[in-house]
Amino acid sequence: MVHIQGIISPIITPMNEDESINEKELRHQVSRQVEAGIDGIFAVGTNGEAYILKDKEKEFVLSVVVDEVKGRVPVYAGTGCIGTGATIALSKKAKDIGADVLSVITPSFAQASQGELYEHYRAVAEAVDIPVVLYNNPARTGNALLPATVEKLADIDNIVGVKDSSGSFDNMLQYIERTKNKDFAILSGNDSLILWILLAGGVGGIAGCANVFPERMAAIYDLFLAGKLEEARVCQESIRSFRNCFQYGNPNTVVKTAVSLLGYPVGKCRRPFDRLSQDGLCAIRQVLEEYRALGIR
């Protein structure tokens, strides 16, 4: 079993101009993250544009990531689909490719009851002998995993944790409170809350901002472990300027644009999610210049 902890980077999926996957740059970005001290790589997640990739593309991206990581850190694979059958099929494929952990987002579009969500995750967990991390992102999917449901799911052996991207600190606290007597990991999906969830009993975060400045994000966890809480707080608060840029568009687009502006040929997000206003571009450039002057990487 993989020990779920630290700062996990939801790696972007670099694209060529024709929107095909840029394997060479994907490998480069993976190694860039690992060498910066990141504790895990999460392939085909939200930042990896899983919502717009075909299944074969997801499998290709995951196979490249697994090959490039070479066991240096755990590889997480986003395998959540709308249907239970499709999620099981993709989860089995991810295990065969070599993923260490599955991240399964809630089904989307159609409204699901808590009972239906429980049965969905139970079926997936029983179909694969690999750790499963639940993924709560109700703003994107329309379905929220309530704390009582997470508590119940935590009793299933290979459901080992949950990533919460609801933005609600109280929701994460309830996850912690309801699973504190179980071997269950709570990960923040909101980069601004990582240090605070660590202090509350969580184990880290899956941090989109790591694509832009991996060393700074990794430092939040490393400094926390070292007991250097004031330095960890400074690192945590320093990402606020960049996160303020999310007001200008889809966070995935903002992150990928920033990585591109750093000089990496990662391309744009797939259409129609590929545009930012001139104000947005100027804001990102300004923040990156400020960070460069401060030595934030």
Sign of dihedral through CA atoms 16, 7, 220, 184? Answer: positive
Q: Is-catalytic flag, 51?
A: no
Residue 100 corresponds to which tokens in the numbers above?
A: 């260490």
Q: Is-catalytic flag, 54?
A: no
Pairwise CA distance, residues 126 & 121, whole Å: 8
Closest CA to 202 of 190, 210, 215: 190
Pairwise CA distance, residues 131 & 160, whole Å: 6
Catalytic position from the list 118, 163, 248, 291: 163
List own/partner pairs for 271-275 with CB under 8 A and 24 or more apart.
271/19, 273/49, 273/52, 275/249
Asked if residue 138 has a cis previous peptide bond (ω within 30° of 0), the answer is no
User: How far from each other are the two terminal CA atoms of the chain, in whole angstroms?
Assistant: 31
Pairwise CA distance, residues 220 & 203, whole Å: 12
Spatial contact of 56 and 37, defined as CB atoms under 8 Å apart:
no
Please provide residue 53's backbone torsions phi and psi, each rounded to the nearest 5 degrees.
-95, 145
Catalytic position from the list 135, 221, 248, 291: 135
Q: What is the set of active-site residues?
A: 135, 163
